[in-house]
Amino acid sequence: MWLRILICNPHQSRKLLVSAMGIQKKNSNLTSGGGNNNSNNNTPPTIHECAESGDLSGLQSLLFRDPSLLNDRSALMMQTPLHIAASLNRVEIVKYLLGMERVEKEAKNVYGETPLHAAAKNGCSESGQVLLSYGTNVEARTNNSMTPLHLAVGFALRTGDNSMVRTLLEYRADCFAKDDEGLAPVNYIPAGVQCHELVGILCGHVAGQIQNTTQQIYSIFAGNQYGNNLADLSMNYTTSSSSGYPNGAGDQSNYEIKAKMEEFDSELSKIVGLRDLKDQLQKWAKGMLLDEKRRAMGMNLGPRKLPHMAFLGNPGTGKTTVARILGKLLKSIGVLSSDKMIEVQRTDLVGEYLGQTGPKTRKKIEEAMGGILFVDEAYRLAPQKAAGEFVDYGVEAMEEIMSVLEDGELLVVFAGYTDRMKKLFESNEGFCRRVTHTFQFDNYSSNDLAEMLVIKMRRQSQTSRLCGFKLHPTCTHDAVTRLIDRNSTEKLRNKMNGGLVDLMLNSARENLDSRLTFDSNGDDLLTITLHDLEFGLRAVAQRTNVD
């Protein structure tokens, strides 16, 4: 592949080869500031060697004795411990170092590379995700003005692993950033290399950044030898029968629509279970995007009506999460002007006194205008019967909402228990006519809950109470499935669904704390075992009023 890059792309071949050579020499240079790689077993490891080997306890001990080592530089490469940990995907060490108040997140080595550059150059997407979540600069520049995205594309070309590119684009990395030679990350794709997925990822992001302006897209690639190459690759990626990507707005429209559908599918893939629902949503989303293509061709389809929906199912089955994903899709295709979602319940809409409900409801409607109004436990707005007569609790709020369903500037999602929502359907004659899409959210199985638990521990946010903790290797998906199936009833799982996982993990951490001593150290302080999970699940079952 490198020979092909040299032949096809002389402008960037030098930099990519330097980047690759830097990776190959890394092991010999990483520890050059701290000694001779410790051939003498009696010599204690340096902080750089601890970062390289992943020795968290050794690194902590060194910093405890000498905090000034936090940003210590190696002699030749001027690497900090954070550079080294990031370049080798030592995630626990990266997290620990970033938690130190005086760590230099934007420290530069001899090439002007920050730790994020080091992660990008080596395809360490997990380290990159952590660095970005701590606010590191996604547009940092090396000595030759390369951004982390330039280096991530180079790694993707060498290995076929596009995960670091995706991570950087999630944090809005600039696809148009140019290095000292005037090349954007997309221009690094060499002629003749089959990397359709990488082209799709980059160009889909470009299309999303500049919306429907064809000339802007191609001004990025015009005037250099890579424009035609990009066109050929994108043409093949889009469809084998497409006709010349850069020759018309229709081809760009195809590409953008496909990118939007892939992004929608990617978001749906993050939701555990609900396979039938996902199939329904994908069919519906495809129809909406095909309508967008029809309009781009000049077809007059008439005014587009928003697909107001009813989400039926128990709490914790993912209704709110799916609504947020739909908001992003509708915003991306121009159906909604915003992807915001305002969540309300009866108490947010119904006033305490006569005459308060209308203004209170209208205020929430105005707040959600342009996006989604998500009405949870919507059945509570249906008329309720008391002492032989109907009491119109919430009816006024319901009428206010129904009055704006035809305006076209607001999508309303009504959510609640399946059986109780039937009362709402029957209480308003126009409900079924205006709320045209109904989706059933089934309860999670033990297998689904286990998958959710493993994913939550793998993709922790910095605000999570379990950030920094990990599962013991024995906590496999199958083992957790058996544990949940053995220690919980179907009734409990159906009542709590996804909420069961959060409570279970929080209780598991409490059990971890209770069984540790102050002499515990290293991974023992951070590792949740199957025993902890079992304790956590039993504790939840005992606290919950379910047999």
Look at residue 23 in the predicted model and tell me its pLDDT.
43
Q: How far apart are CA 472 and CA 524, in angstroms?
A: 10
CA atoms within 13 A on the CB side of 6: 6
Q: What are phi and psi of 319, to 5 degrees?
A: -65, -45
Distance between CA atoms of residues 330 and 337, nearest Å: 8
Question: What pLDDT does residue 303 have?
Answer: 61
Q: 441, 463, 494 — which closes off a domain?
A: 441
Domains identified in the chain, total number: 3
Whether 279 is in a domain gets the answer: yes
Residue type, 310: A
Mark whether 209 and 278 lie in a shared domain.
no
pLDDT of residue 242: 36
Residues of the chain under the 50 pLDDT cut: 1-40, 192, 210-250, 547
Same structural domain, 472 and 513 = yes
Q: Are residues 316 and 200 in the same domain?
A: no
Question: Are residues 321 and 218 part of one domain?
Answer: no
288-321: pLDDT as tens digits: 788 878 877 778 776 667 788 899 988 888 889 8
Domain membership of residue 94 (yes or no) is no
Residues 362, 394, single domain; the answer is yes
User: Which amino acid is residue 348, in one-letter code?
Assistant: D
Residue 416 shares a structural domain with residue 357? yes
- Same domain, residue pair 221 and 240: yes
Q: Residue 531 sits in which domain range?
A: 446-543
Looking at residue 423, its pLDDT comes to: 79
**pTM score of the predicted model:** 0.51
Query: Are residue 379 and residue 406 in the same domain, yes or no?
Result: yes
Residue from 526, 449, 451, 458 nearest 487 by CA: 449
If asked whether residues 436 and 451 sit together in one domain, one would say no
Q: What is the pLDDT of residue 385?
A: 61
What distance in Å separates the CA atoms of residue 250 and residue 111, rounded to the nearest whole number?
Answer: 43
What pLDDT, on the 0 to 100 scale, is given for residue 369?
93
496, part of any domain: yes
In a domain, 355, yes or no: yes
Which of 409, 441, 473 marks a domain boundary? 441
Q: Which tokens in the block code for residue 545?
A: 């009023």
125-133 and 91-98 are packed helices; what angle lies between their axes, rounded to 10 degrees? 10
pLDDT of residue 10: 42
Write down which residue in 247, 263, 279 finishes a domain: 263
CATH of residue 378's domain is 3.40.50.300
Residue 40, domain member (yes or no): no
- Please check whether residue 57 lies inside any domain of the structure: no
Q: How far lies 121's CA from each of 75, 155, 538, in Å?
A: 21, 6, 45
Alpha carbons 308 and 373: distance in angstroms, whole number: 10
Shared-domain flag, residues 297 and 418 = yes
Residues 285 and 396 in one domain: yes
Question: Structure tokens of 53?
Answer: 């080997």
- Shared domain check, 387 and 296: yes
Question: Any idea what DSSP says for residue 470?
Answer: E
In a domain, 152, yes or no: no
Backbone angles phi, psi at 264, to 5 degrees: -60, -45
Return the pLDDT at 212: 37
- For residue 128, tell me if it sits in a domain: no
Contact 14, 50 (CB under 8 A): no
